Structure 1
Amino acid sequence: MHEIELKFQIPESRFTHLRQRFLQGRTEAVRMQAHYFDTADGLLAGHEIALRLRLEGTQWVQTLKASGAHGVSRLEHNAELLADAARNGAPALDIDRHRGSPAHQRLVDVLGDAVLHEVFRTEVDRIVRVFTLPGGAEIEAALDTGQVVAGTARLPLREIEFEWKAGPLHSLFALASDWVTEHGLWLDIVSKAERGTLLSRGQSHPAAARAKPPQLAADADGPALARAAIGSCLAQVLRNASAVAAGSRQPEHVHQLRIGLRRLRVVLREMAPLDCGLDPGWESPIAELFRVLGADRDQQILEDETADALVAAGAPPLTRPRLPAGAEPLDARVQHAEVQQVLLAVQAYAMEASAVSGGAHEGPAVAALGDRLDALLHRLIDHSRGFVDASVDDQHAVRKELKRLRYLAEFIAPLYRDKPVARFFDALAPAQDALGKHNDLAVALAAYRERAATESEAWFAVGWLAAQQARSARAARKALKRAGQAEPFWHGKPRG
């Protein structure tokens, strides 16, 4: 069966009020102890599979879960054990209890002959409440407190889950939205199984998620194409947002979250003409978070790569410059209710749990995007001609347009043959790198120019960076011209 749920972390300062609110309905309390199994090298965790034995009150249940789409849908199979199977404590693990389920087949394919052993356990006090909503919707909510235990390591748990059971799926998102607004919840797609695996390895956060191509059909209409593209964005955004909201300052989490948000903004902007129900109101909160993340990345580049390059060039000693700090730390910005509401709305859209206008665009949606890609590609050569003499802002606008070309092309690339697709992106890559380096130099030059107004030692950096930027502008111009000559794969024959 497919499990569809939304899981949220609860701010410590809001927990007492949330618990009181939760207990206003009919609830049931259950104490649970779960034992999680994997191979010595973490084979199941590496394939996003969780296998556990859990004592729920007096009943042992063996559960197998495997990842699904959008971070909120999963394959799940539960096997309740007979009383005699657990007569002498925890029962023995038996993967054949899941035979016949889709999750079992995935487990068998991954596991092979590898040996399973217990890696960690969870101890959870759960309060369950079922919400019956208009339209026949039934949502089961679970308020969990407890801990994850791996050897001598402990990790506290304080989270709430909303699981769709029946009725209109949009009711799940509507209910969750109300609780986000009232209690300051933030989405977290890192499961208890993943947290246990991380704890057993001495790690705090999962690896950063990179972009993956969408799954779509060649004859997809506007809404189907937009949903597939947004689903691809969400797979990257939600995992990295979960890490940053949980306090990660790892540069790769921040970087990949920013990429995911940029890809999402490309969908909102470039697929809007397909009239596929995309809400323009989603753009503003995403853009603001993107800006904050960009400032953080600029600071990291300034403090590390640029400063090291200046030292190697013989610059006099200087304290490393800092860009203006944001009013809130990154975790608080990701947790912000406005951001969380947009992430919920975008998930609802991707899972067909929101209204779609549709119907206004005639003809295949992929063909319409091909026309837009042609226009973006043809402009690269025009941009290359005046790039060196353009203002910094105009040069940055060219870089953003190049990224729109790349990401929009990536959304339809799975429909076409591998070699033409690879040749196209290989042609774009040097321009992306050249413009990225040029932009980093522009940010650094502005920071050191401001510094030179009060510290004369900074003038060495200004002169050196200005010279580097002049060279990087010429390199970017050449790379842009070559990129503009790339052969558009979307003019070719799609896969059969």
Structure 2
Amino acid sequence: MLLPALKAALPGARRGRIDTTYFDTPDRDLWKRGFILRIRKTGQSLIQSVKQETPSAIVRGEWERETDCGAPDLAAIRRTPLAHLIHKHRLGASLRPAFEVHVERISFVLGHGGAQIEVAIDQGDIEAACGKLAVCELELELKRGDQAALFDLARTISSQGPLHLSVISKAERGHLLARGAWGCSAKSSKPRLGAHMTCRQAFQAICQSCLHDFMLNEASFGTSDRVEAIHQGRIAIRRLRAAITLFKPMVFDDAYARLHDELKWLAGLLGAARDLDVLAERMPAAGDARPAGLQAFAERIEAKQRRFHKAVLETAQEERARTLLVDIVAWIEDGQWRRRPSDLPDAALSSFIGPRLKKRLKSLLRQGGNLGDLGPEARHRVRIEAKKLRYMGEFFLDVRGVAISRKLLKRFVQSLGELQTALGEMHDEEAKVPLVEAEVQSWREEGNGFDEAAISAAEQWAAAKVDTSAELKNAKRAYLKLAKTKPF
């Protein structure tokens, strides 16, 4: 089915087959440094392309040259940034095919909002040593005009059909497939930041890194690795929210509150599934270690896990979530905040971030000053603040000038992690009681075959006190280390 927004331009569409070979070293030296080298065959034409990552996920540096050979032409890349990398590390002789992409493409240019946008619809597959991966996607490329029109068209298309925005390129999917890692959960990636960056550039790079991590894990929500993928996807959204909070003085505009609330909604969806996964992980294993009577309750929790995982997968594909991703990318790249009269976007990164982190550290130290006397809710708030601050600090570990020294910043992040982990263990233990109580109440209200023995066993397991004094001691130790660290 062709989407209404595209129908008018279809009669002038071009059709053709595109075969592309991507090259890299066995250690993926190009990909690790943000480069792509490929040779694309369209008809009888061969085009060699070099692409380079930029802080934007929708804009990349690109250099193209015609070639008459199916192997990399090193002379043709002489005037690209890749030439220095290949020469410095003598990589020329190590380049070899990494994977191939074969697609049938329908492409046309569409006028929208005063802009000219090329639309390409690709169907085919990615081939690597580890197997094949189907490709079915629609690409939009701004040829002329304002990029606001590009995002408006993406939003319109997303509302008309089940199309889902992704910044995971064919190149990245190919590299993951070649490693046997496609469909697996992925931990947080590091944004490519530098001391030379402005606040605007750093904010965009961080947000795009978080969105990339979410979308990469979202692709695994329906796989056997879904428990960890949901966990890592939730972390990606939390890191994104932490970045938006950190840069709030610069990016606050009319869209800020709405996007903040929508991201909170998405985090809540993932959080509900994650809470249930944690509860299941804490239950005694099946067999001798599981008390008699607890098996039926465990099976009920497992069934509910499956429902929650399905809900996460389905909701992520619904229009609300699809539109949110388009809106957040549009806001990051071209939001109203970029046109507000302010010196902050072009300010030096180090002059802005250090004071912001220092202010949040002081607030955290005030909240956790009497950690041993705090109740569960207050300790949980300290944990949340420590987690946010750790995410914020991690973004800048490799950026000179943000802290007095990288060593102190690393120690700062490490202490935050230790504090978060210790308090997290205590919270997970405390949280199992209300989670079990809610599930028991739900089971009773259903009134169809609930098992009193199973309920009793679950209540006894949840109520059993686990000694968390060691975790509290670890939390206090981490707090003292954090208080002594003076990174800013």
Take 2:28 and 2:336, find their aligned partners in 1: how far apart are those partners?
Answer: 37
How do 1:403-482 and structure 2 match up within 5 A? 403-410=387-394, 414=399, 415-416=402-403, 417-449=405-437, 454=452, 455=454, 456-464=456-464, 466-468=465-467, 470-471=468-469, 474-475=472-473, 478-479=476-477, 481-482=479-480
Take 2:123 and 2:80, find their aligned partners in 1: how far apart are those partners?
Answer: 30
What does the per-residue CA deviation read over 1:5-63, in whole Å, with 9 as the maximum and x for residues that have no partner? xxxxxxxxxx5547973754632112212223333444444445333222112211122
Is the 2:106–2:120 contact (alpha carbons within 8 Å) kept by the matching residues of 1?
yes
Take 2:195 and 2:176, find their aligned partners in 1: how far apart are those partners?
Answer: 36
What is the Cα deviation at residue 434 of structure 1? Answer: 0.8
Aligned with 2:57: secondary structure?
Answer: coil
Take 1:395 and 1:356, find their aligned partners in 2: how far apart are those partners?
Answer: 37
Q: Does 1:181 align with 2:159?
A: yes
Q: Which residue of 2 aligns with 1:165?
A: 143
Q: 2:211 aligns with which of 233, 237, 246?
A: 237
Take 1:39 and 1:245, find their aligned partners in 2: how far apart are those partners?
Answer: 26
Q: Which residue of 2 aligns with 1:318?
A: 294
Q: Does 1:98 align with 2:77?
A: yes
Take 1:206 and 1:313, find their aligned partners in 2: how far apart are those partners?
Answer: 30
What does the per-residue CA deviation read over 1:347-386, in whole Å, with 9 as the maximum and x for residues that have no partner? 3343346553644799964476256325423323345253
Q: Which residue of 2 aligns with 1:296?
A: 273
Take 2:178 and 2:364, find their aligned partners in 1: how far apart are those partners?
Answer: 48
How do 1:61-460 and structure 2 match up within 5 A? 61-81=47-67, 85=68, 91-109=70-88, 112=91, 114-135=93-114, 137-150=115-128, 153-205=131-183, 208-212=186-190, 215=193, 225=199, 228-245=202-219, 247-248=222-223, 249-274=225-250, 276-277=252-253, 279-308=256-285, 315-316=291-292, 318-319=294-295, 320=298, 322=301, 325-326=307-308, 328-352=310-334, 354-356=336-338, 358-359=340-341, 365-366=352-353, 369-370=356-357, 372-382=359-369, 384=371, 386-387=373-374, 390=375, 392-410=376-394, 414=399, 415-416=402-403, 417-449=405-437, 454=452, 455=454, 456-460=456-460
Which sits farther off after the overlay, 102-111 or 422-431? 102-111
Aligned with 1:73: secondary structure?
Answer: coil
Judging changes above 3 Å, is the alpha-carbon distance between structure 1 residues 119 and 437 closer, same or farther for their aligned structure 2 residues?
Answer: same
Take 1:92 and 1:228, find their aligned partners in 2: how far apart are those partners?
Answer: 36
What is the Cα deviation at residue 162 of structure 1? Answer: 0.9
Take 1:151 and 1:211, find their aligned partners in 2: how far apart are those partners?
Answer: 25
- One-letter amino acid of the structure 1 residue matched with residue 294 of structure 2: L
Take 1:252 and 1:195, find their aligned partners in 2: how far apart are those partners?
Answer: 19
Judging changes above 3 Å, is the alpha-carbon distance between structure 1 residues 41 and 352 closer, same or farther for their aligned structure 2 residues?
Answer: same
TM norm structure 2: 0.80
What is the Cα deviation at residue 273 of structure 1? Answer: 4.3
Is the 1:49–1:65 contact (alpha carbons within 8 Å) kept by the matching residues of 2?
yes
Take 2:227 and 2:361, find their aligned partners in 1: how far apart are those partners?
Answer: 34
What is the Cα deviation at residue 178 of structure 1? Answer: 1.6
Take 2:71 and 2:189, find their aligned partners in 1: how far apart are those partners?
Answer: 39
What is the Cα deviation at residue 186 of structure 1? Answer: 1.1
Q: How many residues align?
A: 458
How well do the aligned residues superpose, as a CA RMSD in angstroms? 3.6
Judging changes above 3 Å, is the alpha-carbon distance between structure 1 residues 52 and 226 closer, same or farther for their aligned structure 2 residues?
Answer: closer
Uncovered stretches (5+) of structure 2, i.e. residues with no partner: 442-451
What is the Cα deviation at residue 141 of structure 1? Answer: 1.5
Take 2:430 and 2:25, find their aligned partners in 1: how far apart are those partners?
Answer: 49
Judging changes above 3 Å, is the alpha-carbon distance between structure 1 residues 128 and 134 closer, same or farther for their aligned structure 2 residues?
Answer: same
Q: Which residue of 2 aligns with 1:34?
A: 20
Take 2:219 and 2:472, find their aligned partners in 1: how far apart are those partners?
Answer: 40
What is the Cα deviation at residue 343 of structure 1? Answer: 2.8
- One-letter amino acid of the structure 1 residue matched with residue 333 of structure 2: M
What is the Cα deviation at residue 187 of structure 1? Answer: 1.9
What is the Cα deviation at residue 145 of structure 1? Answer: 1.0
- One-letter amino acid of the structure 2 residue matched with residue 212 of structure 1: K
Uncovered stretches (5+) of structure 1, i.e. residues with no partner: 1-14, 491-496
- One-letter amino acid of the structure 2 residue matched with residue 442 of structure 1: E
TM norm structure 1: 0.79
Judging changes above 3 Å, is the alpha-carbon distance between structure 1 residues 36 and 430 closer, same or farther for their aligned structure 2 residues?
Answer: closer
Take 2:417 and 2:218, find their aligned partners in 1: how far apart are those partners?
Answer: 28
Judging changes above 3 Å, is the alpha-carbon distance between structure 1 residues 425 and 197 closer, same or farther for their aligned structure 2 residues?
Answer: closer
Take 1:327 and 1:305, find their aligned partners in 2: how far apart are those partners?
Answer: 18
Which is bigger in relative contact order (C-alpha 8 A, separation at least 6)? 1
Q: Alignment identity in percent?
A: 24
